[in-house]
Structure 1
Amino acid sequence: MPKEAFRLTKIVFTLGPASADERMLERLILAGVDVCRLNMAHADHAWTRAMIRRVREVCQRTGRHIALLMDVKGPEIRTGDLPEPVELTAGQLIDFLPQPGESEHRILAVSVNYPSFGEDVQTGSTVLVDSGLIRLEVVSATSARVRCRVVVPARLGNRRHINLPGVKVRLPALTAKDRADVTVGIEEGVDFFALSFVREADDIDILRRYLSEKGSSARVIAKIEDQSAIANLDEIVTASDAVMVARGDLGIEVPMEDLPLIQRRTVEACIRLRKPVIVATHLLESMIQSPVPTRAEVSDIASAVWSTADAIMLSGETTTGRYPLECVQFMKRVAGRIEGTTSKGYNADLPLKTHKDRLLRSAIVLAQEIGESGIVVFTRSGLLPQTLSALRASRCPIYAFTDNPVAFRHLLLVWGVEPFLMDFGAEPEKTIRDAFAYLLRRGWVQTGDWMVVVTNVLAGEQTIDTIQLRPVE
C-alpha cells in the first residue's frame, strides 16, 4: 500500500444547506476536512442538534472522525426594521435611536438594539453599516439620538450590522442567546467554542467559567475581529486555547492594508505561545458561484499555508455555495503543493522552557536527518504534540496516539499532527508495537521506515523521558 499523503495544514468547513446532506457530508469528510463549524448566527437549536448527530453518524460510517466547532454569535449592534429598504444619498442625515422615540421631520430615523450607543460614540466618529458598505460620520450624539451624515451611500435594509472602528463598546462578552447556544453545544459534546468579538482576556474567562460550571472540557477559540482585540492580542492568545483571524469584521474595523500585517502578527503570536490559529473568511469567496477560484484566492491560501497557520477555513463557500466539495479539494491541493516545496527545518525561534522541550526539538532534528521519517508520540493531554507542532518542523510528520477521545478531537486542529485514538497496553513495548501496526494498517508508513518514538520508561520508581529510534516491522 502506498503511503497516505501527509497534510500539515488543517481544513475547517462551515455546515449549511449546501453541505448538510448526508451524501455531501460523507464526500467532504472523505475529502479531508478536519473540523466542522456550526455558525450560531444562522442556526436554531433543533437544527444544530440534528446536524451534530448527523456528522457523528457519517463519521462512524466512514471511519474518519472530525471535530465539531460551535461559533457563537457574540455581542453585536444592529439596526432595527424599516418599512422598506431605503436608498441613502451622500450628505443625507440619518438618526439612530438607541431608545424608543421619533426623529425630526424629514430625517430618516432607524432604531438600534444597543441602548448605550449614544454614550459610546462622539462627534466625528465613524459608523459603518452592512459590512462597511455604508459609511457614516457622527454629527451629534446624545443618549436618545445619534445623528450621522452619510459619507458613502448604499441601500439600507433591515437589521444591518453596525461596526464602530476604534470605539470600545460596553456590550457583554456572552449574551443570553450565546449562553443558550453554548448549553446546547455542551449537551451535544461539541469540542470547540469560538467566541465572537473578543476584546480582552476577561471575555475568554467568562466563557471558560461557564463551560466549567457545566462540566465541559471543550476548548475556547478567540475570534480576532476588532481593534481592541489587536491591542490586547498577546493576553488574549495566552488566555485562549486557540485563535481565529476573522478577516470579515476585522477588515471592516481596521484599514484594509493593515489586514495582512495583523494576520501575520496573529499567526506568529499563536505559534510563539503554542496555540492553534485559524485563518478565516473569503479564502475562496468566488467559489460560492464559480467552479474555480481566482488566482488571488489561490495566492491567499498559499500565503496562509506558508505562514504555517494551523488551519484554513471555509464559510459561505460550504454553507450556501454551489461547489462545497470542489472548495475543499482546491484547498487540499494548494496546501499540499505549497507544503511540498518547503525544505527541512524547524522553528528555531520558539522559546524552549524545559528540558522536555529540548528533548522534543532533538527528536525533530533526528527525524529530519534520517529522512523519510516521522515522530510517534503518546499523549493523554495533547501537550507534547502541541509543543512538537509549535516547533513547525517541515517534512516531519507527527503521529500522536492517545487513549483520550477529548484529546484526540482537540488535536485535529493542530498543525502537522495526525492524531489516532487507540487503547494503551499495560506494557509500553506493546503500545509502541500496536501504534506501528496501526500506522501500517492505515497506510501512513511502510515496513522498513524508521520512526523516532517519544515516550517514557520506568527506571525503578522514576519515570524517564526517552527518544527511541526504531524501524517499522
Structure 2
Amino acid sequence: MTGYVNTKIIATVGPSSSSFEVIEQLASLGVSGFRINFAHGEPSLWKSWIEIIRETEKSIGRPLAIIGDLVGPSIRIGVLEEPITLSPGDVAEIVYGEKAKGGSERIIPLPLRRVFEVVEEGDILVMNDGRVKLRVIDVRGLRIRVEALTPARITSRKAIVILNRDPGLPALTERDMQCLRFALDNELDYVALSYVRGGEDIAVLKTLIANEGGDVGVAAKIETRSAVENLSSIIEESDIVIVARGDLGMNYGLEEIPLLQEHIVYETRRRGKPVIVATQILESMIDNPVPTRAEVMDVATAVKQGVDALMLTGETAIGKYPVEAVKWLRKIIRRIEERYPPQKFPPSDHQWAYASSIVETAERLNASHILVYSIGGTLPPKIAASRPLVKTIIGVGDVARARRLVIVWGLHLRHVVAEGYEDGLHKLIKELCRNGEIHPGELIIKAYREAHNKHVIIVEKMYGCN
C-alpha cells in the first residue's frame, strides 16, 4: 500500500468478508476498523471473525479496531422462509411471532408485542432505508393489516420504523445486554448503540460497562428524530458519533438527509469529537465492480466535510466486490484530500488548545512529521480534531488504546512499550528511523507531557538516527 489517506475506512464483516484472505486484503488496502453487526449471526460466528481480525493485525503489523454494533431499541421483523414481494396497493398482515412462511402468504412475523399496543390505523411503517412504505389499514389484537404504498421486497430481520411515533422501547434490550457482555469478554474496542434518543441512553450504557469492569469506547448512532433534537447531549456523552443515514432516511424525508449529515458532522467536529458517516457509501458495488458517479460525489462531500471515517456496510458484508469497494473508496478519498484541506475549528478546551498549537507549529515550519507518545490516549484525538496537514504518528504503550485511536482522522498508530513519555518518544523515533519512515535532515515536531502536567513541544531537525 503506497501513500496514505487521513479519512479512515471501516468495513463491515459478513459472508463476503469472513475469511482471513479477504480481511487481510482489506486491511492491507487501508481499512482501519471492522464492524460486526450484532443484528445478524451469533456469538460463535462473531468470535471467529474477531480471531481472524486479530490474526490480521499480526500479519500486517498495525492495530485494527473492532466495533460491535448493538441492535438497540429497534423494531425488526422475524424470520421469513421466503421473501414477500408487494406492489403498491397490495395488502399484507403483520402478526405476532418469530417465524412465518412468507412468499405468497404475505404474513410478516414480528416478535415485539409492544408494537401491536402502540400502532394505530393510518400509521406509516417504513423499511429498507426509507424505500419501502406500508400504511396501517387495520389493527386487531396481535394482527396488523397493511397496504403497500411502494414496491416492496421484504426479507428476514429487516428493521421497521413507525413514522413520527416513538414506541417507548427500553434503550437496551436483553439481547443487547448479552451482546454487550460478549463485546467486553472479547475485548472489542467500541460498541455502537442504535436508535439513541438522548445523552441519557449513552450514559446508561457507559454505567453498565463500568459496572461490568469493562473498558470500551461508545459510539452513538444518530438515526432518530429524538437523536437529532438531542444532539448536543449525545455528542457530550459519546466517544464517537455515527451518522447512520439508513434509519435517518426512514425517519426523515430523503431530501433532508444531506442537510442532516452536514449538521451532525459540523456539530460533532466543532466539539472536537470524532464522527463517522455510514450507510449506502458505495451501495451499488454490492452488485457492481464500479461505483456510480453519484456515489463518488457523495463520498467526496463527506471527505470535504472532514469526517473521521467512512463505514462500508453491505458493500463488504454481503457484496460481490468487497475488495474493489475498498479500493474505490480509498482512491476517491485520496483524490479529494489532495485538493481540499478540511475545515479547521477553533479549540474549545485547554487540551485542544495545546494540541492545536502542536499542529500550527508543525504546519508553519513545514515539518515532515508530528510525533507523540501517549499513555492515556486523550491528547491524540485533540490533535486529530485540529486536522493536521502534517503526517501524525502516535506511539502508544497499550495496544487497546492504539486500537481505539486508529479510526480517528489522520492518526497513524504504533505500539511502543516504554517507561514514560520521553522514553516512548525515543523508542518511537528509533523504530521510524529503522523502518525508513523518517530521515536525516527532516524537521520533526515532538510533543509529550512532563511531570506536574507540563506540556512540551520540541522542534528538532533530524541529524541522524542513532
Secondary structure of the corresponding residue to residue 41 of structure 2: coil
Matched length:
457
1:409 equivalent in alignment to 2:403: yes
Aligned to 2:384: 389
- Normalization by structure 2: what TM-score? 0.89
CA distance in 2, matches of 1:233, 1:201: 8
Q: In the aligned structure 2, how far is the partner of 1:158 from the partner of 1:54?
A: 27
Task: Describe the shift of the 1:328–1:97 C-alpha distance in structure 2 as closer, same or farther (beyond 3 A).
Answer: closer
Q: What is the rounded CA distance, in whole Å, between the counterparts of 1:99 and 1:425 in structure 2?
A: 58
- The 1:44/1:463 distance shift into structure 2, 3 A limit, reads closer
Given that 1:98 and 1:143 are in contact with CA atoms closer than 8 Å, whether structure 2 keeps it comes out as: no
- Kindly indicate whether the alpha-carbon contact (under 8 Å) linking 1:4 and 1:443 is maintained by their aligned counterparts in 2: no
Q: Which amino acid aligns with 1:467?
A: I
SS at match of 2:448: strand
What's the offset of the Cα at 1:48? 1.1
Matches within 5 A, 1:336-351: 336-343=334-341, 347=344, 349-351=345-347
Q: Which runs of 5+ in 2 are unaligned?
A: 99-104
User: Which range moved further: 58-67 or 47-56?
Assistant: 58-67
Deviations 1:232-282 (A, max 9, x none): 111111111111111112212211011011111111122122221111111
Structure 2 SS opposite 1:451? strand
Partner of 2:418: 424
Which residue of structure 2 lines up, in the alignment, with residue 103 of structure 1?
Answer: none
Structure 1 window deviating more from structure 2 (145-154 vs 372-381): it is 145-154
Instruction: Give the aligned partner of residue 355 of structure 2.
Output: 360
- Partners in 2 of 1:109 and 1:34 — Cα distance? 42
Task: Name 2:101's counterpart in structure 1.
Answer: none
- Gap change, CA 1:328 and 1:143, over 3 Å in 2: same
Cα deviation, residue 123, structure 1: 4.5
Partner residue in 1 for 2:192: 194
**From 428, 438, 451, the counterpart of 2:431:** 438
Normalised TM-score (structure 1) = 0.88
One-letter identity of the residue aligned with 1:450: L
Question: Within 2, Cα distance between the matches of 1:270 and 1:243?
Answer: 7
Give the deviation of 1:132 after TM superposition: 3.8
Equivalent residues of 1:194, 1:223 under 8 A apart: yes
215 and 82 in structure 1: CA distance in 2 versus 1, 3 angstrom threshold:
closer
Contact kept, 8 Å, 2:72 with 2:172, in 1: the verdict is: yes
Q: CA offsets, 1:175-220, max 9 Å, x none? A: 1222212212211111111111112222222322222222111101
Alpha-carbon contact 1:6-1:397 (below 8 Å) kept: no
Residue 306 of structure 1: CA displacement? 0.8
CA distance in 1, matches of 2:363, 2:183: 41
C-alpha separation in 1, matches of 2:44 and 2:84: 35
Q: Based on CA coordinates, which of the two structures has the bigger radius of gyration?
A: 1
Counterpart residue identity of residue 369, structure 2:
G
Q: Alignment partner of 2:149: what SS? A: strand
CA distance in 1, matches of 2:37, 2:198: 22
CA distance in 1, matches of 2:137, 2:321: 45
Q: What's the RMSD between the two structures over aligned residues?
A: 2.7
SS of the counterpart of 1:466?
strand
1:147 CA drift (Å) = 4.9
The alpha-carbon distance between structure 1 residues 457 and 126, as it changes in their structure 2 partners (threshold 3 A), is same
Q: Whole-Å Cα distance in 2 between the matches of residues 427 and 303 of structure 1?
A: 38
Q: Deviations over 1:281-340 (max 9, x none)?
A: 111111122221111111111111111100011111112222212211211121111111
For 1:69, the aligned partner's letter is I
Q: How does 1:75-90 map to 2 (within 5 A)?
A: 75-79=73-77, 88=86, 90=88
CA positional deviation for 1:158: 5.6
**Distance between the aligned counterparts of 1:273 and 1:318, measured in 2?**
31
Distance 1:109 1:327, change over 3 A: closer
Partner of 2:102 in structure 1?
A: none
| Unaligned ranges ≥5, structure 1 | 101-106
The answer to whether the 8 Å contact 1:33/1:328 transfers is: yes
Q: Indicate which of 456, 460, 465 corresponds to 1:470.
A: 460
> Alpha-carbon deviation of 1:421?
1.4
**Corresponding residue of 2:21:** 23
Q: Is the 8 A contact 1:27 1:325 kept in 2?
A: yes
Provide Cα deviations, 1:383-402, integer angstroms capped at 9, x if missing partner.
11111111223x22222222
